[in-house]
Amino acid sequence: MLKLKGQNIRFKYNNATENIFDDLSFMLHDDMKVGLIGDNGCGKSTLLKIVCGLITPNDGKVIIPSPGAYLPQDPKYTDISVEEYLFCFDERLLNARRIMYTCEISEKVVEAVDEFDRLGGFKFEENLSKVINQVELSEIDLNRSFNTLSGGEKTRAAIARLLITDPAYLLLDEPTNHLDIEAKEWLMTFLQNTKLPFILVSHDRAFLDSVVNQIWELKSGIIKEYSGNYSFAEKEQSVELERKKKEYQNSMKKITGLKADYNNKRNWALQFQAQTGKNGFAPVYEELDNNARRAMRRAKVMERRVERELEQAKENKPFIEKEHSIFIETQLPGNEIICEVEELSKSFDEKMVFKDLSFKLKRGDKIHLIGKNGSGKTTLFNLLTGNLRPDNGKIRWVPKAKIGYYCQEHQNLDDKKSALKNVYSGMDKDKESKSRIVLGCLGIKKDKVFSLVEELSPGEKSKVMLAKVIIKEPNVLLMDEPTNHLEMSSRKKLEDALVEYKGCIIFVSHDEVFANKIKNRMIFLDQ
């Protein structure tokens, strides 16, 4: 059964010169669990917003037999109760519900009850108990502040909010960002077991392999569909590329043969013409002159055929983007031990984050920092960089340690400056050209480097942040979820760069493939 259909969709943003989507069409059926992939900035989030009506396309339409539910990328949580959060998918519904249960003026309560009923609120309340059991939230006090929930509980609450509306399908925009392992495993199990079709934007290869049965690759404004998970699609892409390469090579061989045939016919015709004189009037050469003309006509026909074949070959030539690897320059300190952490403790508002934490960072260490959301991973980074002071304990860096800190929230970026200026800000002007090279290696190219950070997609902001760290040539990298929002190709580039990197790394990542390729040690933080 058809759940969703996009027909000939065209769209471009107001200041853009080119369409993001150009005659894009797709269909979602009830047995489809779709992974939507594509480069940063290609329009994945925009497409989901068009489907759920937040953005209107310039042309084309979306046909929706029954409404679905949408989980945006990095939803903003406000200080409300869990129960209010579950109903805040519709501001009118939430306001009516608040008046119903808090207002003492009877007329307003009656109006609120009518509004709540009209919006389907009583039906949603009937679904509530069933849904919170389904997502394992029955033990949670619904009057509790939403912001006090753990990362896993917030994830389950977000899914519950979608399910309360009894949707026909789900739209999920990078739902695994910022999730700890436990929360991600819960979401993975839910998506494996749900009967609802969904479109999922994710750059997590292992996660996609576990939950989807279709891959839609969004590229150059259209969707290419693959019937299988991400690994299957990757193999299909490789096979397709090799086939196109072979076809192109065969076409060029054929063209080479046709050119040789054309040159032979043309040379033969020219020889005949030379023998017949300038105009071929001499009676003795009349037959030669006719042969020359016929040969030249055949040569012209052959020339036009070569031109057609060349034009066709150019159209079918596979596009292979020139890959530029990332290299992180660094000068290593001579010390064996780069940093010592001794009996470190930190708490906030009487809540102990960690206590008596001790470890040593040695030359060549690439440490995967593991812990649940709230276990203190980001807090530890802020202590190591000096942005926070510990309650107790010591942190001793060697004098020549040069720290590069990638923070997952991109606080170090200035939204009102261009991508390029953000990268070399505070450095010599001669770093500008190198900054452009680093940005280019990460996929921020040409005029894109002059775009304001506030105009960039989350993935593009991540690349600017990475470039800002790399350009400073650190010998210690502290990386808090560096792969969040990055497309597959950039993740692989970053993996390769960090494997080759000669300095020390402490990193947080819930991308298993990425982490397993880089780490040589692990530190577990557990409250």
pLDDT means per 10 residues in the chain (527 residues)? 92 81 92 93 91 92 91 75 81 83 80 87 82 82 80 82 90 86 87 95 92 94 92 89 82 80 73 58 50 70 76 68 77 91 88 89 95 84 93 94 88 88 81 88 88 88 93 94 87 92 93 91 84
Rounded distance between C-alpha atoms, residue 406 and residue 482, angstroms:
7
- Supply the DSSP string of 271-311, one letter for each residue: HHHHHH-SS---GGGHHHHHHHHHHHHHHHHHHHHHHHHHH
Rounded distance between C-alpha atoms, residue 367 and residue 383, angstroms:
16
Rounded distance between C-alpha atoms, residue 302 and residue 283, angstroms:
29
Residue 127: predicted pLDDT: 82
Supply the angle between the helices 151-163 and 181-193 in degrees, to the nearest 10.
Answer: 20
Residue 295: predicted pLDDT: 67
Residue 336: predicted pLDDT: 92
Helix, strand, coil share (%) of the chain residues, nearest 5: 45, 20, 35
Any idea what DSSP says for residue 349?
T
Rounded distance between C-alpha atoms, residue 212 and residue 199, angstroms:
9
Rounded distance between C-alpha atoms, residue 489 and residue 480, angstroms:
19
- Helix extents (H) in 369-519: 377-384, 419-424, 431-441, 458-470, 488-500, 512-518
Residue 284, burial from CB neighbour count under 10 angstroms (0-12, 13-18, 19+): exposed
How many whole angstroms from its chain centre is CA 156?
23
Residue 285: predicted pLDDT: 46
Residues 6+ apart with CB under 8 A from 346: 352, 353, 354, 376, 379, 383, 388, 390, 391
Q: What are the phi and psi torsion angles at 75 (to 5°)?
A: -60, 145
